[in-house]
Amino acid sequence: MLRLKTFLTVILSILALVVFAQQRVGTFVDEVIVVMEPTSEAAIRRMEAGEFDVYAMTLSSPELFKRVRGSPVLGYESSYGSYNELTFNPVGPTFPDGRLNPFSVPEIREAMNWLVDRNYIVKEIMGGLAIPRYLPINTVSADYVELIDVVRALENKYQYNFERAEKVITEQMLKLGAQKVNNIWTYKGQPVEIILLIRIEDERRQIGDYVADQLEKIGFKVIRDYKRAAEASPIWLSGNPADGKFHVYTGGWITTAVPRDLTGNLDYFYTPRGRPNPLWQAYKPSDEFDRVCEILANKEFTSTQERRELFAKGLELSLKDSVRIWTNDNMSFVPKLKNVLVTADLYGGISGSWLWPYTIRFENKVGGTMRIGLPSGLTDPWNAIAGSNWIYDMMLVRSTGAMAYIPDPYTGLYYPYSFEKAEVTIKAGLPVRKTLDWVELKFEPEITVPSDAFIDWDAKEQRFITVAEKHGDQKLTALRKVTVQYPKNLYNRKMHDGSTFDAADLIFKMILTFDRANKDSPFFDESAVPAFTSFLKVFKGFRIVSTDPFIAEYYTDLWYPDAEWNAGTGANVFWPYYDQGPAPWHVLAVGFYAEMQGKAAFSSAKAKKLNVEWLNYVAGPTIPVLKASIDEMIAKGWIPYEKVLTKYVPKEKLLAKYQNLLNWYNQKGHFWVAWGPLYLEKAFPIEKVVQLKRFEQYPFPVERWAGFQAAPVPQVMIEGPSAIRIGETAAFDLFIEFEGQPYPASDISGAVYLLFAPDGTLVLKGNAEPLTDGWFAFEIPADSTKALSPGVYKLEVAVTSIKTALPGMGAVDVIVRGR
Amino acid sequence: MNDNEKIQRSNLKRILRYFLIRIIIMAITLVIGVYVVILVANMGGAVDNIRKSQIREAIGTSLLGDEVYRMMKPEEKREYVKMLEEVEFKRLGLDQPFAIRSFLYLKQALTLNLGNAERLTSDTGSRQVRLIILERLAPTLVLMMTAFLILFFVALTFALFLSRRYGSFFDKMIIALAPLSAAPAWFYGIFLILLFAAVLKLLPFGGMVRVPPPDNNLEYFLSLLRHLVLPVSSVLLSSIFISTYNWRTYFLIYSSEDYVEMAKAKGLSSAMIERRYVLRPTMPAIVTSFALSLIAQWMGSITLETVFNWPGLGRRIYEAINNFDSPVIIGANVIYAYLLAITVLVLDVIYAILDPRVKVGAGGVRQ
C-alpha cells in the first residue's frame, strides 16, 4: 500500500512537472545570480559548501579534476577548445652568426613527431585531460570525422618511435656537417644548442621540459628559456627568426566553437600567406604543399570528393613539412553540482554555449535560483555595438538575446532561432552540403543580383544606394544568395521593456552595416573601418522583399560548405544582434544620440579619440548620459535615420518606444534591453554580482532546446573472430549505443573499419553497413585477407554521427594466421 | 618690538624657511620619483614592444577562423592586418613614441589629472584612472583600515600592559607567539576560510556582501560586517603578536631610563609615569609608524584580497601591472607618493609639537 502511494506520488509529481513545464516559457529557472570567484580552487570549495551551483570556467588542472570526480556532490561537463603544439624556427641551416639550426631541415622536423610521445603528454602531464593530436585539424571536428580513415592512418604512421626519430635526426645531422662528440652533437667544434622557449603559465611548462629531455637524450644541448606570454611574444612572433633567439616554442591555441571547415588551417599554419609576422615569412613549404594549401584556402575545389582528396594530401604533406607539430587537444572540464543539468558546448563549455540559459535547471525541478560562479565579469562596458568582448561578459549578454541562429553545441551546425525559414542558393559547382531538414538548398548556374537591391549607403542623403545606381547596366553576380523569412507574428513579440519588434529593428541593422564606417556619418568610427573593408570584399547586396512578414535577400561571394551556415549567417545580417550583443533600434538610438553630442562613444577607440567615456548600458558614468539623451530625444522627437525608418514604421510608433525604455530605466536603473529568455535585473559592478531574471513574456516554451542534454557520442563494441585465416572471409558486427539505447541508424553518417598491420601501416579499410538501429556489420572479403601476412593486426572502427563531432571509436587486436 | 616678539618673529621666519626648503626638496623628490615610476612601469619604453607584439598575436589568432581573410590575396592580407594593428595601436596610444608619452604621463601625474587608462576600465565601466582607483579605494580602506586600527590600538594597549608585567606569563606567551607573524595574513586567511566557511559554514568564503547585495542600507552594513570578520581576523592573527612584542620591547627600553626611575622614586603614580615619562618620548616613533602604516594600507593587499575575493585596490593594481596599463600603475603610485610626501611633512610638524627636544633649524635666534 505504502509502495503504491509512493509510486502514485512520484507519478503525479512528474506529471505536474511536465504540465507546468509545458506552460512555461524561456527558462527552467526563475533567476540566475552570477558571482565572481577568480580562484578555481576556492570556487570548487564554495560549490562543495553549497555557495553556488555551477562554476562556468573551463578548467584543465588534473588535481582539481580528481577532486571533482571524487566528490559526492560535484559533476562536470567536458569541452575541447584548446590545443598545444611545438612551433619550430625554420631559418637555416645556420643563423647569420654561424650557429646551426637543425630545425631548418624538414626531415628533422618530421622526425620530431616520432620523438615526442603524445600519449605520455596526455597521460602523465595532462592526467588524462587531453587527446593526442597529430594533425592541424582538431580531433573533435566535422573534418576529423569526415576524414577519419585518412587521419587514423597518419596518426598510426607518426606514433611515438624514439629509435626511428634518432635514426632520421642522426642521418640529417651528419648531412649538415655536425658530429657527435661524447654523445653531444657539435657543429664546427661547438655543441649544438637548442633554445626551447617554454611558456610557464600552464601545462606547456611540463610539455616543454619533456621535449627538452627528449632532445637531450638524442645529444642536443638544450637551453630552457622559461617565459610568460608577454615576454615570449616579442621573441617568437614579432622578432626576426634569423636572430636565432629560439629554436622551438611551446605554442597554444584556442577554438571557441565546434569548427565545420578546417581546410583553411593548412594555409594559415604552414605558409607565409597565413600571417604577416616574420616567423611565417620564413616558412618555405614545398611547391606541391603550397599549392594544396592555397587551393584549399581559396576553396578552389568543385566537389566534396575533390576537397576530401586535397585535404587528405594536405594533411600528409603537413607532417612532412612540420614547421609545427601538434601534441594534444586539451579536454577541459566545467564543474557543477550533480543535480544541475545544462547544455555545454563541445568547445566553449558552459560559458561558450548559446543554449545554457534555455537548458540550465535543477534535476526534477522547475523554478528556483541558479547561482553561477565566474572567474570574472563586468570587465568592460556592455554595449551591443563595440562593448565588452570578454568571454564571461558575453555568456551573460547572450542570455538576454540570441543571434538569428543557434549553433548546435555538439556539431557546430546552425538551427534557426528567430527566423521561420531560409532558402540558400549557391552557384553550381561549389561543394555545399545540407545536413538538417530545416534549410532549403539549391544550385544555380548564375546568381544575378537584382538591380533594386541595396549595395551601399549614402550617409549624407540618409538613403540606401541600389545596384542600378552604383553599377548601371552592368550585371552583378554573387556566389551565394540567402532568402530569409521571419515569422508573421514577429511584430507581436515583446522585448524586455514592453516594446514589440518592428521592421525598424531589422532595417537599422542593415544601415549600421555601412554607416559607422562612413566618414560622412555623424556616427563614423575609425575602428569600424577594417571590419567593413573585409565585409565589402564579398558583399553584393541586400533586398527587402516584404516587411510583413519580413522577407529579405542577401547576396554575397562568401560561402560555407554547410547550407545551415550559409542560411544562418545570412539571416543574421538582418537580425538586430550586433557584434557584442542584442539591441533593439531604440536602445541603440539613445547611445547614438549621446555619441552625436560628443558625450560618450560606443567603441573604446572612439571614446579615447573624443576623450569621453566608453558607453556602458548597465552601470557607471554613462548611465546619466544616456538618461539625459533619452529625455532630449523625447523632447525633440529625434529619430536616427528618420527618413528611412519612417518609410517602414510610422513615426509615432517609433517614438512610443522611447517612453518604454525610459520606464524601464526608471524601474531598473539601467538601459540594457533585449528580448532573450533572461533579462538583466541589476548589475552590481563593485560587488561583482549580476542578477538575471526569467522573462515571462518570452514567446518560446522551455522545451524548445531541451533535446540538447549530452553529446550523443556513439559507443562502439566490435564482435567477431579473434583470428582471421588468410584467404578466408571474416565477418564482424558492430553494436552502437548511446546511454544504453541502440543508436538510430539514420543518425549515423559513417562507420568505417581500418585494419593496421603490426608495423602500424594501414592495409585495409572499408565501410560497415546498417542492419538495424544500433547494429552495423562488415565483412573483410577473402580477396583482401589473401594479401595479409601472419601477425597481430589492429582492427579499428570509427563511427561518426550527424549529431556530434566526436566520433565513436572501437579497436580490437586480430590475429592473422596462415592457411 | 620687544625681544620676545623678535624671537617669535624670528622663529616664524625660521619655520617658514624650513618648510619652504622641505617643500622644494619634496617636490623635486616627487618629480624624480614619479618619472622613475613612469620609466619602471614602462621598462624604459620596452613595454611598447611587448604590447605591440601581444596585439599582433591577438589579431593574428582572431584571423584563424576568418573566412574572408583566408580568401584575400597575400598583399590584401598584409594591408588588412596592418589596418587592424593601426586601429589597436591608436586606441592604446602606441602610435606615439614612448619618450613623448612619458612626459605626458609626468604632466598628468604632477597635476593630479590622472588621465584615462589604456586597457582597464573601472568596475562601472569608466576609463578614468581617477574612478578606477576611487571605486576600489573604498572597499580597500574598509578592510585595511578596520584591520589596521584594531591592530594598532589592541597592540598598543597590550604592549603597555605587558611592559608593566615584564616576565609574566602573558609576556612569555607573547614572546612565544611572536614567530607566528612570520606567516602572512593570506596564509591565515586560507585556514580561517577552511574552518569557518567550508567546515563550520558559519561565515562566508569571501566577497564583500551577500549575493544579491541587500537594497536596505542597514542590511548591507550588517552583511559587510559579517564579510569583514575573516579577512580582518587574518590580518590581526598575522600581525598582533609581533606588533605587541615590538612595542612592548620599545616601552621596556624607555621604562628603564633614568628619568623614569627618578619619577618612580618620587612616588608618581604608574599611570602618570606611563603617560608622561614612557608614552610621550615614544610617541614620535609610534606616530611615525602609525602614519606610515596608515598610508601603506591604501595600496591594499593583492593576495589577501584575492584569497577573500575582496574587490580592493591591491587586486586592481595587480591587474594593471599584468596588463601593462601604465596610467593606472602611475596613478596609483603618484597618489601614494603625494600621500607619503604630505605625511612626512605633517610628521615634521607633529614631531616639533610632541617632542620638546626637536628644534626647527639650528642654533636659536641670531643676535
Nearest to B125 among A371, A608, A622 (CB): A622
Q: Which of A232, A317, A326 is nearest to A279 (CA)?
A: A232
Measured between its terminal Cα atoms, the distance across chain A in Å is: 67
Confidence class of residue B366 from pLDDT cuts 50, 70 and 90? very low
Chain A residues 642-681 with CB within 8 Å of chain B: none
Query: Cα separation of A351 and A376, whole Å?
Result: 11
Query: Cα separation of A505 and A507, whole Å?
Result: 6
Q: Which of B319, B347, B310 is nearest to B144 (CA)?
A: B310
B111 touches chain A (CB under 8 A): no
Confidence class of residue B177 from pLDDT cuts 50, 70 and 90? confident
Query: Cα separation of A570 and A480, whole Å?
Result: 10
Chains A, B: CB pairs < 8 Å: 188
Which residues of chain A lie closer than 8 angstroms to B119, CB-CB? Answer: none
How many angstroms separate the CA of residue B62 from the nearest CA in chain A?
A: 10
pLDDT value at B174 more than 90: no
Query: Cα separation of A352 and A465, whole Å?
Result: 38
Query: Cα separation of A259 and A792, whole Å?
Result: 36
Length of chain A: 819
How many angstroms separate the CA of residue A669 from the nearest CA in chain B?
A: 13
Nearest to B311 among A229, A608, A687 (CB): A687
Element (H, E) at B272: helix B270-272
E strands of A459-580, at which residues?
463-466, 477-478, 480-485, 539-547, 550-556, 577-578
| pTM of the complete model | 0.85
Contact A590, A384 (CB under 8 A): no
B321 touches chain A (CB under 8 A): no
> Residue A404: its pLDDT value, please?
95
Cell (9 digits) for A482: 540567402
> Residue B357: its pLDDT value, please?
63
> Residue B76: its pLDDT value, please?
87
Inter-chain residue contact B80 with A265, CB threshold 8 Å = no
Question: Which SS3 state, helix, strand or coil, does residue A524 take?
Answer: coil
How many angstroms separate the CA of residue A281 from the nearest CA in chain B?
A: 11
E strands of A1-132, at which residues?
31-36, 54-55, 74-79, 82-88, 130-132
> Residue A23: its pLDDT value, please?
79
Domains of chain B: 3-110 (no CATH), 137-366 (1.10.3720.10)
> Residue B355: its pLDDT value, please?
66
Chain A residues 459-478 with CB within 8 Å of chain B: none
Which residues of chain B lie closer than 8 angstroms to A613, CB-CB? Answer: 125-128
Chain B residues 164-223 with CB within 8 Å of chain A: 193-194, 197-198, 201, 204-209, 211-213
> Residue B141: its pLDDT value, please?
85
Q: What is the mean pLDDT of chain B?
A: 83
Render pLDDT for B89-129 as a digit per residue (tens, 0 to 9). 888 888 888 888 888 888 888 887 888 888 888 888 888 88
A237 touches chain B (CB under 8 A): yes
Query: Cα separation of B90 and A117, whole Å?
Result: 45
> Which value does ipTM take for this structure?
0.76
Which residues of chain A lie closer than 8 angstroms to B204, CB-CB? Answer: 51
> Residue A571: its pLDDT value, please?
96
Query: Cα separation of A766 and A760, whole Å?
Result: 17
Decide the pairing of beta strands A804-817 and A723-725: parallel
Query: Cα separation of A340 and A362, whole Å?
Result: 5
Amino acid in the structure at residue A439: V
Query: Cα separation of A658 and A643, whole Å?
Result: 18
Q: What is the DSSP letter of A94?
A: B
Query: Cα separation of A640 and A521, whole Å?
Result: 11
Query: Cα separation of B236 and B230, whole Å?
Result: 10
Cell (9 digits) for B253: 627600553
Query: Cα separation of A617 and A112, whole Å?
Result: 52
pLDDT value at B144 more than 80: yes
Question: Which SS3 state, helix, strand or coil, does residue A542 take?
Answer: strand
Which regions of chain A are under pLDDT 50?
1-2, 4, 6, 10
Question: Which SS3 state, helix, strand or coil, does residue A571 take?
Answer: helix
Share of chain B above pLDDT 70, in %: 95
B268 touches chain A (CB under 8 A): no
H helices present in A57-161, as ranges: 62-70, 106-115, 118-120, 142-146, 148-157
Confidence class of residue B299 from pLDDT cuts 50, 70 and 90? low
Residue from B61, B63, B67, B94 to probe the interface with A (highest A Cβ count within 10 Å): B67
Share of chain B above pLDDT 90, in %: 8
Which position has the higher pLDDT, B196 or B45? B196
> Residue B365: its pLDDT value, please?
41
Query: Cα separation of A513 and B241, whole Å?
Result: 66
> Residue B363: its pLDDT value, please?
46
B224 touches chain A (CB under 8 A): no
